[in-house]
Amino acid sequence: MRRLTMRQLVVFEAVARHLSFSKAALELHLSQPAVSMQVRQIESFIGLPLTEQVGKRIFLTEAGRIVFHASKNIAAQLNDLGHALTHLKGAEEGLFRIAVTSTVNAVATGILAGFRGEHPKVSIHLQVSNRAEVLALLAENEIDLALMGQVPEGLGLTATRFMENPLVVIAPPDHRWAHKSKIPIQALADEPFVERETGSGTQGAMERFFAAKHLKIKTSMVMDSNEAIKMAVQAKLGLGIISKQTLEMELMLNRLIVLPVVGFPIMRHWYVVHRSNKLLSPIAQAFKDFLLNQANLIQAAPSPLG
């Protein structure tokens, strides 16, 4: 009796994810004809096409989308099985996959370096993305842990707070408000702002904050990273709102200043996040414990930023 095999589903999952037979072949270290054969065998078994070609592009059929969903779940379960088996080996070696939002990356990089120093045989795969992309990686079970800001409810995620993340208003040092001791929040409506892109946690927090104050601000530019915002503010393209944790170098070198706006900072927090139904590997659990300990030490230390 014929049946689908694990190999066929793994091959098709790669094809469907890349929407490319050649890219799937490269990932799986197979020839393209071998990949095509595995997909054709699934189609022969179910009696329906899984892909269709329009021009040079590959698309999934309805049957293909159904098989892709099932194959992703199977791949995720195999990955979790691998993590479970590594419990027998401990946390001294293996692959650790983590994604962080760009804001938290300034702190995460140093903590990861400290963790790597204590676990030199661990291979770390770090992805830096915005909030929406990190949530997608969690949903697809492509990472072990994520470090990010606000975590939405109802997604089956476990979030543990590990550090405060104050958002502040920044300006160039020669801004006309540089020497003011208190700036009314209503004055911000007259200033252009450089903002983060839609999907960023900082941009979402900024929108909610001003909406609650019934204040509309002017957007001069939209940037996709904190570094781009800092450079734009230095170039006098507008004010910015950014995590104070990312400003140490710019404040020390007097490239930027924090404006004393009434109502600021917007106090947010960073979280370490994973799927609630995910069995953390010893490596992931060891990093989570290390992170919480290091965050306590960082927050207890005197801040050079004042």
Counting runs of H as helices and runs of E as strands, what totals does the chain give?
A: 10, 11
Beta bridge partner(s), residue 146: 99, 273
Q: Rounded to an integer, what distance in angstroms lies between the CA atom of residue 43 and that of residue 22?
A: 19
pLDDT at 53: 87
CATH 3.40.190.10 fits 166-267, yes or no: yes
d(CA 295, CA 89): 27
Answer for the pair 165, 104: CB distance below 8 angstroms, yes or no: yes
d(CA 270, CA 292): 11
Contact 201/131 with Cβ under 8 angstroms?
yes
**CATH architecture of residue range(s) 92-163+269-300:** 3-Layer(aba) Sandwich (3.40)
Domain ranges of the chain: 6-85, 92-163+269-300, 166-267
| Preceding amide of 265 cis, omega within 30 | yes
Per-residue pLDDT tens listing for the chain (306 residues): 467 888 888 899 999 999 999 999 998 888 999 999 999 999 988 889 999 988 888 899 999 999 998 888 877 777 766 666 655 555 566 788 999 988 888 888 889 999 989 888 888 999 998 888 899 899 888 899 999 987 888 888 999 999 888 999 999 999 999 999 899 999 999 899 999 888 777 888 888 899 998 998 898 899 888 889 999 999 999 999 998 888 888 998 999 999 999 999 999 889 999 998 887 888 889 999 999 988 877 655 555 444
Residue 271: helix, strand or coil by DSSP? strand
Q: Do domains 92-163+269-300 and 166-267 have the same CATH topology?
A: yes
pTM (predicted TM-score): 0.64
- Give the fold, CATH level 3, of 6-85: Arc Repressor Mutant, subunit A (1.10.10)
Distance CA(66)–CA(71), nearest Å, equals 9
pLDDT of residue 49: 92
The radius of gyration of the chain from alpha carbons, rounded to an integer in Å, stands at: 24
Task: Tell me whether strands 157-171 and 257-259 are parallel, antiparallel or unpaired.
Answer: antiparallel
Q: How far is CA 39 from CA 22, 50, 59, 71, 208, in A?
A: 13, 8, 14, 12, 47
* Paired tokens of 34: 């071998």
